[in-house]
Structure 1
């Protein structure tokens, strides 16, 4: 029997979720709350049988709903979780980031203590097939990771409803909005928590000529972050959002005493120039120290999954795992704790960039 979803927010990312859920035989979207008329109409085209409602409260009154997806703008996530908790706390998959400011921490803790159902934070990058392959083989390939590097060279922030993603106050800042994915991957891959972060970032190219209600966007378009972990491992992030000419969008390398493992992930196929032929295929490369000799492995993804979204098939695989948690057949793999750490690391990177000082994490911070 299908699990019935109620969906909150059907902008660009919400519609990617809808397309991927349509590919899952054991999932059905039965109701949608999307206040923007244009996005609501597009969502209805994808899921014509879903009931369109006018509020979160109206959505929760539909008894057949088994679980929820929150894909609204960042600054709505926490308040909508609190509203759900107060009315009908169903299992929920909430898009990243879990919250947008340090002042939200007390509310997050209260939510975590009281919420009786699974809360899964949507960290899609974990489920990209090449990234998942790297994670699975990293220990054997490296002999224990001592250095981890994540690079994303990509296109600028896309246009969103109400231009909410142009301002730090609504997104948490680029190091939260964009980079929380990568900080989550650091903790997951290294199996350790951060102790210190140093970062540098800013706005160099994008959005400088844009104005919204007379205000210039303050969202950053590039940066570096270096993170020391409790395990002694070190990690580095490099982000550039005016590099859409790149062959690969994400590149991750992990290195240890025995060797190196890398993955290379192409960006969305819809942005690949047609005159260059077929888009690149994701790869994993294993490079042992002895005997030397890199070994490259193609990691193809089902074209139907690539067509359904911009995240290398990961949205589909994430929902597969979430559905198991909804049914009580598997664990919540991306917890509130994981979502909280990802935001805290992003906020610390923003702070470090602004002050020029390293930020140290207290043992009790998360």
Structure 2
């Protein structure tokens, strides 16, 4: 890669740091400006980026023309307003972390403004770019299972980590657990089915995590476990099983796709830094397993990740591969693979799931995937 791409980053917390480490692995890419209001975060990141300009907010970041593309990695509830400001004031290419917004009211505003923006806008759905998931999706597309009929995503993981200001402890800031993190999975469902959701049914609760915490007298209201069933227009179905107090297993996620010819599974370990290597040995490696109906018997394949890329973040190497795609979209005119439409529709499914839990009813997806019928 010979062309150069200078990044400005808005938000340099946990995910911002992961982006910085991965950008550093791409020849021709660099971070030249960073904005974050938290002094401690600025200090930590200055050690990683001694040559970069550090500032406090978006206005200050945009006041100097010293970067070519903007990465938004701020708290969820800030994304929509920040995007609208950037659309209004710049023509910059944008990579925005998921969720692209956290309220149904912002869906139409962001969609309309994004349609008029002249540069690439890429929504950061890291799970698409985990090498094992890339292989898994390829085998579904290649017809290894026949026509896909059912998909299941099971995530058994650790509780939400601490974030600056503890913003992720409340639905009003994060959009709710099924928006904040699970929009990744609803995006995968759309990618696998190549279809649009029409109905969402969910059951979930806050049963164990964060119940002994208080913030200015408030107890966190984010759920820590759920089942979500998504019906698609063609009759295909997908289900999410989420548990955030089950981090003791060998694999964090199991994704299954089933058709009339076979079952296909993808097994993904959690972040390597949490794996107790001193007692359990080396961290597990991702696997893709195909189990044909005839002849019966699973065929297992390990999908390793380059150690340097693996160590640059918590997402099984995906952040690096995502940045390679964004780099090519900006510098070579390659296709944007995760569009604003993709980001918004995944968020709407998550919002509908949160509403289904609240109301105890199935929720219809309307407006071509950009809305739902709240009860």
Q: TM-score, normalised by structure 2?
A: 0.96
User: 1:177 and 1:25 mapped to 2: Cα distance?
Assistant: 31
1:184-263 equivalent positions in 2, closer than 5 A:
184-263=187-266
Give the match's secondary structure for 1:207: coil
| Residue in 1 that maps onto 2:132 | 130
Secondary structure at the aligned position of 1:41 is classed as helix
- Write out aligned runs for 1:264-303 (5 A): 264-273=267-276, 274-303=278-307
> Counterpart of 2:144 in 1: which secondary structure?
helix
CA distance in 2, matches of 1:134, 1:285: 9
Kept in 1, the 8 Å contact 2:287–2:302? The answer is yes
Partner of 2:66: 64
- The residue number in structure 2 matching 1:304 is 308
Q: Which position in structure 1 is the counterpart of 2:373?
A: none
Mapping for residues 50-89 of structure 1, pairs under 5 Å: 50-89=52-91
SS at match of 1:142: coil
SS at match of 2:25: coil
Q: Does 1:142 align with 2:145?
A: yes
What's the secondary structure of 2:291's corresponding residue? strand
Query: What TM-score do the two structures reach when normalised by structure 1?
Result: 0.98
Alignment CA distance shift 1:363-1:31 (3 Å):
closer
1:365 Cα deviation (Å)? 4.4
Question: SS in structure 1 opposite 2:351?
Answer: helix
Using the TM superposition, name which of 6-15 and 111-120 deviates more. Answer: 111-120
Alignment-derived partner of residue 315 in structure 1: 319
Aligned equivalent of 1:331: 335
Structure 1 unpaired stretches of 5+ = none
2:27 aligned partner: 25
User: Which residue number in structure 2 is paired with residue 359 of structure 1?
Assistant: 363
CA contact (8 A) 2:21 2:313 kept: yes
Provide the C-alpha distance between the structure 2 equivalents of 1:23 and 1:198, rounded to a whole number of angstroms.
41
Equivalent of residue 5 in structure 1, options 4, 7, 11: 7
User: Cα distance, 1:363 vs. partner?
Assistant: 4.8
Superposed CA deviations along residues 266-301 of structure 1, whole A, max 9, x for unmatched, are 000100012111000100001111111210000001
CA drift of 1:62 comes to 2.8
Q: Which runs of 4+ in 1 moved over 3 A?
A: none
Give the distance between the partners of 2:56 and 2:352, measured in 1 at CA.
Answer: 37
Q: CA RMSD in A?
A: 1.1
**Structure 2, gaps ≥5 residues long:** 371-375
- What is the rounded CA distance, in whole Å, between the counterparts of 1:128 and 1:24 in structure 2? 17
The answer to whether the 8 A contact 2:150-2:237 is kept is: yes
Q: Which of residues 115, 119, 122 in structure 1 aligns to 2:121?
A: 119
CA–CA distance in 2 between the matches of 1:258 and 1:46?
50
Q: Helix, strand or coil: the match of 2:368? A: coil
How far did residue 64 of structure 1 move?
3.3
Distance in 2, matches of 1:65 and 1:91, equals 10
Superposed displacement of residue 246, structure 1: 1.2
Contact 2:95 2:326 (8 Å CA) reproduced: yes
Is 1:57–1:87's contact at 8 Å kept on the other side of the alignment? no
For residues 320-361 of structure 1, what are the alpha-carbon distances to aligned partners after superposition, in whole Å with 9 as ceiling and x for unaligned? 000111124311111110011011000000011111100111
1:159 aligns with 2:162: yes
Paired residue secondary structure (2:366): coil
In structure 2, distance between residues paired with 1:8 and 1:146: 40
Q: Is the 8 A contact 1:144 1:256 kept in 2?
A: yes
Out of 13, 36, 39, the position equivalent to 1:37 is: 39
